[in-house]
Structure 1
Amino acid sequence: IMEIMGRHAGWLAGAAALATAYGAGPDLVYLPEVDFDMDKFLADVDRIYKEKGNCMVAVSEGIHYADGTFVSEAKTSATDGFGHAQLGGLAAHLASVVKEKTGAKVRGIELSLLQRCGAHLASETDIEESVMSGKAAVENAVAGITDKMVGFQCTRDNGKYVCKTELLNLTDVANTEKKVPLEWINKEHNGVEQPFIDYVLPLIQGEPNLPKVDSLPRFAKLKKVLAK
């Protein structure tokens, strides 16, 4: 059971289905856009485990019950930088429940911040769009434009992915999420449909030729220089 970042939006956990589409990913994927049912989850896991002898599950950290409570919420007063309750321990909790109910050998894994630490695994699309957004941010800041965020306007017409930047008002994007469309989540609420795969697949395209030193990524050492 793999716990993946995503409090209210399940894009990261859903992206695990890319591996499934190509034969090596999770059997079940649970996103926070829909309510979580523990009994149905256990039935799903038990069914697949009996069919295959193993079962791999990807869950967003923010999956919640029908009453809105998170399946796993840290029993502390800790909050993140936005005042939200700190989540944690979901994978371990679900692993414990599955082991108790099915008797199967279960391992829970929380990927956590490791998901942000693999810059050397970034796709060429990732890198190109990062540079593009940074360039747009600097150019607009120098031009005196403020209170904006750089966003992406992307099209996928006729299977061709095209992306360009746009400026968005901070008041339109602050503390909000772009959620996975409900029609892209299967009716069983334990996986995603093909439109989701078609949407995210272009984002991982391209194999960049990144410099390495002794087989390790070449890390940048930047000096802070104040802009004048």
Structure 2
Amino acid sequence: MSELRGACIIGQSGGPTAVINSSALGVIRTALDTDCITRVLGAAHGIRGVLDEKLYDMGVEDAAELELLKYTPSSALGSCRYKLKDPDVDDSDYKRILEIFQKYDVRYFFYNGGNDSMDTCNKISKYMQKVGYECRIMGVPKTIDNDLNGTDHCPGFGSAAKFIATTCMEVHRDAHVYDTGMVTVIEIMGRHAGWLAGSAGLATWAGYGPDLIYLPETDFDLTDFLDDVARIYRNTGKCMVAVSEGIHHPDGSFVSEAKVSATDGFGHAQLGGLAAMLAEAIKMETGAKVRGIELSLLQRCGSHTASKTDIEEAYLAGKAAVEAAVSGVTDKMVAFLCKREGGYHCETILQPLDIVANIEKKVPREWINAAGNGVEQPFIDYVLPLIQGEPDALREASLPRFAKLKKVLTTDIDG
């Protein structure tokens, strides 16, 4: 295939992670070092930055600051939750994207995100093919939820899993200080897939973790839940519970009392308040002292417990996306193919955007115990390799030194 010369755009979308910027660096650094990519642009707040023509020139950034992206949590370029309409219904956004691509001679587009972001990537790719504009479009995976189809796991998940397991171990220690009874309920992110909540099982495996773990892959029964908690509390005087925010009744409705409080830009329920609700139910049932803890945003921005494996794989995903696009590939997402027997090994593969967008990968039922209140050893064996290693992050005055980007807009440079 003939060489395709032109600029590239990298955008970040959806919820951030501790390692999303490592993927961005993989794209930016590789693109800057690639001759046929004439300019590297960063979209401010994802696809919104393209639509609003708010594009940063990454070529004017200090190289040392760019390198710090590897250890800087959350989306350095800014994120968004913007849903593109079906182009057959309303193609105004797509026409605007094409206009910007043509203006800046953009021939490569890299979008770093989760399920909805891959949907955006897929729609843009199909539209560009339809109108005959040659632009190689690649998805770079990201989600702490670990629910992207077609890949062994997702960048961001390993670090979030490590944070959750570490925090559960620390809370477990604190909860066992006094000789009085106490129940602790920890609410963990995960709307439909329980990978994050299941990761609390690593703490139990290590000896200091939840007695009970509830994932959205199984129906939740409040009576059974209260019976489980009461039994353990009677026997030990303590009980620690990890629950996914997305646990649901048999009819599919969320247990969380906050389920109808709001939705995000893609129509997903904004969950929350589950730990407090369950804590109150336990208190009424047992009379015990109960603490409800919601990890909330901490689990996706906790770079101080980031997995070195996760950081390196996130960078690899971004790098692989650029290399594939330059070689002539388009309409794909970078994915991971891994083996764990005889030592962990991970390599990148490419998956069609069609099979990734809007399909959620869930925890296999056989990895959850029969009672639906814990995880089995295969889950532990799956996650353990992903949390390994400590980051070589720069610190100043014992505090993390995050990247400080200039974020110079192309409109300020080009006039």
TM-score by length of 2: 0.52
Deviations 1:112-141 (A, max 9, x none): 111111113111111110111111123234
1:184: how far off?
0.6
1:75: how far off?
5.5
> Which of the numbers 74, 97, 104 marks the counterpart of 2:288?
104
SS of alignment partner, residue 99 of structure 1:
helix
1:220: how far off?
0.8
Deviations 1:3-56 (A, max 9, x none): 101111101010011010011111110000001110110011111111111111
SS of alignment partner, residue 55 of structure 1:
strand
Bigger Rg, structure 1 or 2: 2
Corresponding position of 2:146: none
Partners of 1:224 and 1:164 lie apart in 2 by 32
> Which of the numbers 285, 305, 313 marks the counterpart of 1:129?
313
AA aligned to 2:248 is H
* 1:37 lines up with 2:195 in the alignment: no
Deviations 1:131-189 (A, max 9, x none): 1111112323444543322211111122x111111122222111221111000100111
1:208: how far off?
2.7
* 1:22 lines up with 2:206 in the alignment: yes
Partners of 2:331 and 2:257 lie apart in 1 by 33
Corresponding position of 1:46: 230
Which runs of no fewer than 5 residues in structure 1 stay unpaired?
A: none
> Which of the numbers 187, 191, 201 marks the counterpart of 1:3?
187
Partners of 1:141 and 1:80 lie apart in 2 by 31
1:218: how far off?
1.2
AA aligned to 1:204 is I
AA aligned to 2:267 is G
> Which of the numbers 205, 208, 214 marks the counterpart of 2:391?
208
Partners of 2:369 and 2:359 lie apart in 1 by 24
- Contact 2:194/2:215 (CA < 8 Å) preserved in 1? yes
1:206: how far off?
1.4
* 1:174 lines up with 2:350 in the alignment: no
Greater shift, 172-181 or 5-14, is seen at 172-181
* 1:217 lines up with 2:386 in the alignment: no
Partners of 2:264 and 2:408 lie apart in 1 by 30
Corresponding position of 2:344: 161
Name the count of aligned residue pairs: 226
Partners of 1:168 and 1:53 lie apart in 2 by 50
SS of alignment partner, residue 243 of structure 2:
strand
AA aligned to 2:208 is A
- Contact 2:212/2:373 (CA < 8 Å) preserved in 1? yes
Aligned pairs for 1:84-123 (under 5 A) are: 84-123=268-307
1:77: how far off?
5.6
Greater shift, 193-202 or 70-79, is seen at 70-79
- Contact 2:192/2:217 (CA < 8 Å) preserved in 1? yes
Report sequence identity in percent.
72
Aligned pairs for 1:142-161 (under 5 A) are: 142-143=326-327, 145-158=329-342, 160-161=343-344
Which runs of no fewer than 5 residues in structure 2 stay unpaired?
A: 1-184, 411-415
SS of alignment partner, residue 363 of structure 2:
coil
* 1:139 lines up with 2:323 in the alignment: yes
SS of alignment partner, residue 112 of structure 1:
coil
AA aligned to 2:246 is G
